[in-house]
Amino acid sequence: MLKSIFVATLFFNILATANAVANPLALFIEQCLQYQPELEPDKLASFQSVEQQAVEFEKRTIALNNINDRIQYYRPFANDSLNKQGLLWCQLHLADELYALTTAAQTQYLIDKLPYLESPYDQLGQRLITIIRTQWPLIEKSQLHSAQASIHQALSRQQFTMQFNQQDCVLTQKANIESDGKTNIDINIAKYLIKQPNEYCRKQAWLAYQIRAKAQQTPALALIHQLQQQRAIQQQYSNTAQAQLSLHGLDPTQLARFLASQTVDLDIAPWNIARALSRASKSSSMETMSSTVFLQQIFDSLESIGLKFELINMDKSNASADDIEHNRLSNTRMIRVWHQQRLLGEIFTYPHSKQQYSRNVDGQLIKQTVIGHQFGQYALSFPQHLTHSIQQQKLIIALSQAIVSLAQGGQFYFLTNRGQNIDTHAIATQWLAHYIKQQLNLPELSGRHQLAEQYQQQLGVFRAKVSLAFYQYQGDIEGEKQDDWLSHNQSLSVAFEQSFGQQWPSATDAIYSYQAIANEGINHYLPLWHNALTQLIISETPARKSAKEIFTLLVVNETYLTLNDQLEQLIGPPIDPHSLIRRFKHAGTTQQ
């Protein structure tokens, strides 16, 4: 354990203990920082079989994993800097404990034996190997997190003012975006890009906004690049892109081909998108609908694939049968989800009251389903009434995520948790959301929303190309050798033009415009890959396979099939990366 974590724990305890009883979040953080899993080697070794040792390992690590999930659950409720910092310390503390567990001699013995057993034990062994491979030594991990936090702080800073060298670019007093005295740069730049009629001025403002924190970010981003490159070399790879893509069975050349297949020229530059959206058709009119009624419609549509929803905590006293039927979800705070007589878990619903009115739809895992150990729990919050079609879409996606999280329960946490199982979870969620939308026959989103989605798609494609170039690059991005990195300006400017119709001569500056390049590394492409795979499943799965069969195979997956095995049964071979990319293009999975 790093000394800084001990200091952090002591510091937080001094500040938080006084109000821990009155503040559940502070109490949770204090308990988390003091948590140490029990995994005594002599007890683990006393079992007669490797299978029993694996089950015991699960018993002794499930509390650590549950606390990790609870950190993510509590994160939106951390409204002050102390609690935010406390959750970060807690996350780092648990990462250190997991590192100690997975590198312990007895765990190494278990990992060596698991691959020779049948499923799911062999898959657990492979997953633990992957976890170890992606873990960082404590000192390097501390440096990495500090650099990522520095970039987040630089990008989050709002106190910027807009100054122009050309008087023609200054808006008139009538259209002045800062007349209210606020200095939130995110809001001000958005207003400026809408109100400024001169495209040249909009472009200059947008370009300046991309590098607003370049000076503060450069040292941190250079350190992240250096740490990742050193780690890749230690793992016998030439660069970070090769090392990280190998975890997903890809190489940089294949990823470049995939991103090319997903590229569409919108012919709308980022500095023009705000005005284009303002001119696009707004959302189609929709009658206000109770969110509970809409949820019930979704539940009814899912009966055909074997799902049943049990509504708990209804106040049936003094209510007629018609009232109960009409208000089937009105007072519900918990929903039990069943699949073919098996309890998958529970969803807690939190409709926003009028006093705390919000249009947002949010969902968060509370506890992962682990067969034989615990039922899963998920939390959903949403407005009491839906007034826009986009809210319906968001509620469908959030509920799909909840159902997939509960349904993908296995014997071992590391085989089913979303964080360790990104690919199958994302693909299953997108397929289920598509199925629900089809069943409900919802109207298409407005032209404005469709254009916004197309723009975000191409922004993701471009940024994935930037991340690929950045993590393939083996030199320095600052200092005397930075010219080697700047030589990528031409190729990245071409990439920018392919998506947006205009050039960005200094396109290497894009690395300073988004947090994901520091946090996600090369994996910024993954949502695009998941979407393409989902569309391929939807378009190429034979009609003879029912939705119920697809749900059982893709979502529930009781036989612990790998993603490749699932794809073979759904769309048939070949499913190697080269063939999948070719099939993506043939099936038209690129977002038009």
Residue 124 CA to residue 129 CA, distance in Å, equals 9
Question: Which residue in 238, 210, 273 sits closest to 509, CA to CA?
Answer: 210
Q: And the tokens for 500?
A: 């947006």
Residue 539 CA to residue 541 CA, distance in Å, equals 6
Residue 183 CA to residue 245 CA, distance in Å, equals 41
Q: And the tokens for 312?
A: 């708990």
Ramachandran assignment for 132, one of left (phi > 0), alpha (psi -120 to 50 degrees), beta (any other): alpha
**How confident is the model at residue 582, as a pLDDT?**
93
**How confident is the model at residue 470, as a pLDDT?**
97
Residue 231 CA to residue 222 CA, distance in Å, equals 14
Residue 370 CA to residue 416 CA, distance in Å, equals 8
| R_g (Cα) of the chain, nearest Å | 25
- Beta-carbon contacts of 378 under 8 Å, excluding residues fewer than 6 positions away, are 345, 346, 347, 348, 363, 364, 365, 366, 401, 402, 405, 406
- What pTM was estimated for this model as a whole? 0.89
Residue 501 CA to residue 420 CA, distance in Å, equals 38
The helices-and-strands tally (H runs, E runs) of the chain is 27, 7
| Residue 338 · residue 326 · CB < 8 Å | no
For 340-344, the CB contacts below 8 A with 24+ separation are: 340/306, 343/375, 344/369, 344/375, 344/376, 344/403, 344/406, 344/407, 344/409
**How confident is the model at residue 499, as a pLDDT?**
97
| Residue 448 · residue 280 · CB < 8 Å | yes
Tell me the per-residue pLDDT of 228-270, one tens digit each, with 9 for 90 and over: 999 999 999 999 999 999 999 999 999 999 999 999 999 999 9
Residue owning tokens 């400017």? 493
Residue 588 CA to residue 510 CA, distance in Å, equals 29
**How does 143-168 read in b/e, with b if 16+ C-beta sit within 10 Å?**
bbbebbebbeebbeeeebebeeeeee
**How confident is the model at residue 164, as a pLDDT?**
78
DSSP code string of 117-154? S-TTHHHHHHHHHHHHHH---HHHHHHHHHHHHHHHHH
- Beta-carbon contacts of 263 under 8 Å, excluding residues fewer than 6 positions away, are 458, 461, 495, 498, 499, 590
CB atoms inside a 10 Å sphere around CB 383: 21
Residue 571 CA to residue 566 CA, distance in Å, equals 9
Ramachandran assignment for 591, one of left (phi > 0), alpha (psi -120 to 50 degrees), beta (any other): beta
Q: And the tokens for 17?
A: 């203990």
In the chain, % helix, strand, coil (3-state, to 5) comes to 65, 10, 30
**How confident is the model at residue 41, as a pLDDT?**
56
- What stretch of H or E contains 91? helix 81-102
Amino acid identity, position 188: N
Report residues of the chain scoring pLDDT below 70: 1-22, 39-48, 173-185, 283-285, 313-332, 353-358, 588-592
Residue 431 CA to residue 535 CA, distance in Å, equals 8
Tell me the per-residue pLDDT of 150-208, one tens digit each, with 9 for 90 and over: 999 999 887 777 777 778 888 876 555 554 445 566 778 889 999 999 999 999 999 99
Residue 312 CA to residue 447 CA, distance in Å, equals 39
